[in-house]
Chains A and B, each alone.
Chain A
Amino acid sequence: MNRITKTLCVSIASLLTPAVLADTFVFTAIPDQDERQLTERFGKIADYLEQQLEVDVQYIPVKSYSAAVSAFRSDQVQMAWFGGLTGVQARQLVPGSQAIAQGVEDTAFISYFIAHESTGLAPADSLTDTLRGKSFTFGSKGSTSGRLMPEFYLREQFGEAPETLFNRVGFSGDHSRTIALVESGAYDVGAVNYAVWDAGVEAGDIDTDAVQVIWETPAYPDYQWTIRGDADARFGDGFTQRVQQALLDMTDPDLLAAFPRSGFIPATNADYAPIEATAVTIGIMDAQ
């Protein structure tokens, strides 16, 4: 705890001093899980990139999904591990920026709907009317797997907004918190990133007697690394490509387990057009 909080604090304070950042390549990641784990796992990624790129690389933690996008927008970070939706938002706000790599799993990502045992809901192949009137929590308002896609499929199935379908709709903030809230029964049902859930079950952190998966969404593209368009001008020609290569070359299972992904493959902005279209459809983004 002590060591982690220390890194956390040193990094958050250093975000406030732009001078330090002038020749450092800084990246962040959306805080989709337990923040203390994030600092540890992305600290290792910073060390790896520093070795590969031969520039100073720093990871800074941020407080929320929107803070990650804001930091990218104001050039406080030059690269970020975004979710599908935050990536689309970021690239819209920073013209010229591009998606360069995604996890192997991210081409066909899914969300789980999870329910507390007291609801009596059982795993099924489709969403049924038994969900009506329950309480429901999304993850962050800006999450793809915790909000965008689940809301899209709910609207598609029931033809109405979650607010009218459920008796209460909440936004937990992140996937770990969603699981904790449904596990404790504070919410009946929740939508969660499958990778975070599976990792939690494997590590034995989740009481599967209290909460279980009742439905999984069809596949959609999700997380990706996005880099600012002015990175080459700042860090030298071909820098973007070197960063991409370094990410694709990441094979150390210890590093990859941090995401958790089995490896990285190239990605382009166009890969995320379906996400943008969905965001416009459910009304959380304006058509461009």
Chain B
Amino acid sequence: MTTRLQLRDTGAMRRTTGLFILLALLCLPWADIAVHTLDPGRELGRLAQGLLWPQWPTTRTLAEAIASTLAFAFQGVALGAIAGFGLALLYRRRAVRWLAASLRAVHELFWALLFIQLFGLSTLAGVLAIAVPYAGIFAKVYGELFEETDPAPRQALPANASRLSSLMFTTLPQAWPNLAAYTRYRLECGIRSSAVLGFIGLPTLGYHLESLLRQGFYAEAAPFFYALLILIATQHRWCRGWMIPAMLLAALWWLPPVAPVNGALIWQFLTHDIVPAPLRSGMDALPWFMDLWQGQLWPGLINTLVLAMLSLVVMGLLGVMLFPTVSRLFGNRWTRGLSHGVLVILRSLPEYLLAFIALILLGPSMLPAIIALGLHNGAIIAHLIGQYSNTLVLRDDAARGLNRYFFEVLPRQFRLFLAFSLYRFETVIRETAILGMLGIPTLGFFIDSAFAEFRFDRAVMLLVASAVLNIAVDGCARIIRRRLHLQQQVQVC
């Protein structure tokens, strides 16, 4: 039975992989993947030179940017975790699951653009921009952790035990280790998100990075770049135990989460600004919507999907090609150490930043975005599969080199690879949307335009469309996973 199931699965896995590659090939004619800088080599040289000979800002500037980056991350993740915990308790309800799905379907950059309209460019806007989507993510992960707990202790409680004591004495103690580990891990994602919020004006590392990189001051940008890299790469060393509450308190002291709240402004935004323009003046909204559909929604959706499919395949290829370089089954200590370092860099940097650098080097097209998404996510897949492959036990006389890779290791890891890739699908779609802010006409490009034109009605409509797309893609990936019996859980941002 198991063998037959596995055989059927192998066929289905092959077909799924083939289907994804075929879809990506079909997308190619629509993808705009040309190099447009006349001399990318020169720019690359300047970038390398800047990275090697950084020009240091004042300690104070750097320290303030780091402190703000951490402050937004800690406050946002903490608030998100509290709200997500509350939602997780009600996660069995369909409405709560939908709410959580919609919260996490909108990228934190877009939440930030919305909250900046409500609360100005304030700490509160930045904290909420991280907290809201993270609450949706926490709700899901915590909710699933609660469901996985052993029901036996709960059933052993006296019949009149309250729900609170049931939670405190049976569910929570069981789920706690995983819950704490995931929350800590999420802080790493929070630092990345916080840095990216700087790109739209919050005073984090991203603020300086964006200005300096955009203007080509690579040497001045380098220290901020290294600071971000070091923060993320070392996060698991210093971010534990009593440091976490201490950091949170420091964050609240450094940037109190306040905002100039203007009731009238918020009321106007909610009751007037986001209502479709024709409805405000009592006209027919259909032409308005059709216009939006033809001009922005449809092309935005197509570009988003084309970019996501191509990035997914590049991600897969890189993942499959790179994982042996960090696996103990191949190479030696030195090669593994080197590739490990490269993978850490690639997966530590936000895709948005990678795309930004690729855009400067290669000029405007879909290519920088594909490279950024492929590299970042490919590095994550390679890292995960590399780790898992270390648990494989091969026979002493197993083949070496390419034969070992193709006939021993890859077939055994393929299932895992597919599972991870499908989990990344939703992330890739989410990120494609924000890469639109760099000028690739995905849904995010049109959302950015709508905010630049102060047409919040259009912005909200486009945001809803991108949320629906994310939820749909997530649903598809879940169905494929179930079909292929891929249950491997993976939680990476």
Contacts and interface: CB of A to CB of B under 8 A. Distances in A.
Interface of A: 1-2, 5-6, 8-10, 12-13, 15-18, 34-36, 62-67, 69-71, 73-76, 89, 92-93, 118, 135, 140-142, 168, 170-171, 173, 176-177, 180, 184-187, 284-286
B131 to A, nearest CB: 16
B57 A286 contact: no
B480 interface: no
A286 B215 contact: no
A227 B39 CA distance: 45
Given A1-B57, A6-B61, A186-B364, A63 B453 contact: no
Contacts of B64: 9-10, 13
Nearest to A13: B203
A184 B37 contact: yes
Nearest to A69: B454
Contacts of A180: 216
Contact of B208 (A5, A65, A73, A177): A5
Contacts of B119: 74
Contacts of B260: 18, 74-76
B451 A66 contact: yes
A71 B38 CA distance: 38
Given A171-B439, A185-B37, A185-B38, A141 B453 contact: yes
A12 to B, nearest CB: 4
6 contacts: A9-B203, A64-B200, A67-B201, A69-B454, A70-B120, A71-B120
B454 A93 contact: yes
B70 to A, nearest CB: 14
Q: Which of B39, B43, B363, B455 has most chain A Cβ within 10 Å?
A: B363
Contacts of B487: none
Contacts of A63: 199-201, 207, 210-211
Contact of A65 (B43, B202, B452): B452
A71 B262 CA distance: 13
Interface in B29-76: 32, 36-39, 43, 55, 57-58, 60-61, 64-65, 68
A93 B36 CA distance: 38
Contacts of A71: 120-121
B298 to A, nearest CB: 14
A16 B255 contact: yes
A286 B277 contact: yes
A66 B451 CA distance: 7
Contact of A186 (B36, B58, B214): B36
Nearest to A21: B260
A76 B61 CA distance: 23
Q: Bin chain B's interface residue count.
A: 35 or more
B262 A16 contact: no
Contacts of B363: 186
B123 interface: yes
Given A62-B201, A67-B200, A185-B37, A9 B122 contact: no
B422 interface: no
A118 B183 CA distance: 54
A192 to B, nearest CB: 16
Contacts of A6: 57-58, 60-61
A286 B277 CA distance: 8
Contacts of A5: 57-58, 61, 208, 220
A74 B207 contact: no
Interchain residue pairs A-B with the least CB separation, the first 4:
A74-B120, A63-B201, A185-B38, A141-B452
B210 A141 contact: no
Contacts of B214: 173, 177
B207 A1 contact: no
Given A34-B215, A74-B265, A142-B452, A16 B207 contact: no
A67 B121 contact: yes
A76 B123 CA distance: 13
B252 interface: no
A196 B140 CA distance: 51
A2 B200 CA distance: 22
B23 interface: no
A74 B262 contact: yes
B66 to A, nearest CB: 11
Nearest to A9: B61
B454 to A, nearest CB: 5
Given A5-B61, A6-B60, A76-B120, A186 B453 contact: no
A286 B259 CA distance: 30
B449 A70 contact: no
B194 to A, nearest CB: 13
B449 A9 contact: no
A17 B121 CA distance: 10
A1 B55 contact: yes
A66 B36 CA distance: 28
A77 B396 CA distance: 72
B387 interface: no
B360 to A, nearest CB: 9
B413 interface: no
A168 B445 CA distance: 14
Max count, chain A CB within 10 A of own CB: residue among B55, B449, B454: B454
A63 B209 CA distance: 12
Interface string B248-260: 0000000110111
B117 interface: yes
B36 A70 contact: no
Contacts of A12: 201, 203, 207
B367 interface: no
Contacts of A187: 36, 364
B384 interface: no
B375 interface: no
A75 B262 contact: yes
B357 interface: no
B37 A186 contact: yes
Contacts of B210: 63
A187 B449 CA distance: 20
A176 B120 contact: no
Contacts of B58: 2, 5-6
B113 to A, nearest CB: 9
